[in-house]
DNA sequence: GCCAACGTTGGC
DNA sequence: GCCAACGTTGGC
């Protein structure tokens, strides 16, 4: 059974266009236990991913990715510290226009979605299937606009 | 640049 | 184990 996720990245550090260029990338650098546990314990190869631009203008979902490699130790983690991990993600699609956070917050169909909640800093989040599908539809709608 | 939210650290 | 201080995230 497929699962659905949202991962955040600051586009100045790594944007959807970077993923489009690279095709796939190691999702290293996660230093939050809850996010780590999602990657390690729940993410599966093939799971669908919303690629979210944080600290951006505007912040929002920039495209789609897929988990393409299983969780393994993060080679960028400092030695002697906690056991951090990473997954590999692959490019799927870039939305022609970002689906802005404002838009997500305003959509009744997305009520309760974690990323719309104030103070939600988790950089790897589970997403409900219905929410995922809704955002894909919004991304396609942006493509027509 | 500001600051609210929240996770982590460290003194006790 | 409490909690104040501190650092980071991330929207605005």
Q: Three-state SS for A117?
A: coil
Nucleotide nearest to A118 (CA to C1'): B5
Q: What is the pLDDT of residue A145?
A: 47
Q: Integer distance in angstroms from CA A142 to C1' B6?
A: 33
Is the pTM higher than 0.85?
yes
A66-77 burial: b if 16+ Cβ within 10 Å, else e:
bbbbebeebeeb
Q: What is the pLDDT of residue A80?
A: 79
A80 CB-near residues (< 8 Å, 6+ apart)? none
> Measured on CA atoms in the order A39, A41, A46, A50, is the torsion positive or negative?
negative
Q: What is the pLDDT of residue A4?
A: 97
Kindly list the averaged pLDDT for each block of 10 residues, start to end, along chain A of length 145.
88 96 96 94 96 96 97 89 93 96 95 92 95 95 56
- A61: closest CA among A49, A73, A77, A47? A49
Q: What is the pLDDT of residue A2?
A: 59
Strand B: which positions are within 7 A of a protein CB? 4-8
> What is the pairing mode between strands A48-53 and A4-9?
parallel
Q: What is the pLDDT of residue A142?
A: 58
Confirm whether any atom of chain C, the nucleic acid strand, is less than 7 Å from CB of A28.
no
Nucleotide nearest to A10 (CA to C1'): C10
């Amino acid at each position: 059974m497929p699962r659905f996720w949202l991962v955040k990245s600051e586009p100045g550090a790594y944007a959807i266009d970077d993923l489009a260029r690279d095709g796939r990338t190691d999702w290293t650098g996660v230093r939050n236990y809850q996010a780590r546990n999602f990657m390690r314990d729940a993410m599966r190869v093939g799971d669908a991913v919303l690629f979210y631009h944080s600290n951006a203008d505007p912040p929002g979902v920039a495209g789609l990715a897929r988990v393409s490699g299983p969780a393994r130790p993060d080679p960028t983690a400092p030695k002697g510290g906690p056991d951090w991990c990473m997954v590999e993600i692959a490019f799927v699609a870039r939305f022609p226009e970002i689906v802005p956070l404002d838009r997500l917050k305003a959509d009744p169909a997305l009520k309760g979605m974690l990323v719309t909640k104030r103070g939600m800093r988790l950089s790897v989040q589970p997403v409900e299937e219905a929410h995922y599908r809704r955002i894909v539809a919004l991304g396609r709608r942006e493509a027509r606009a």
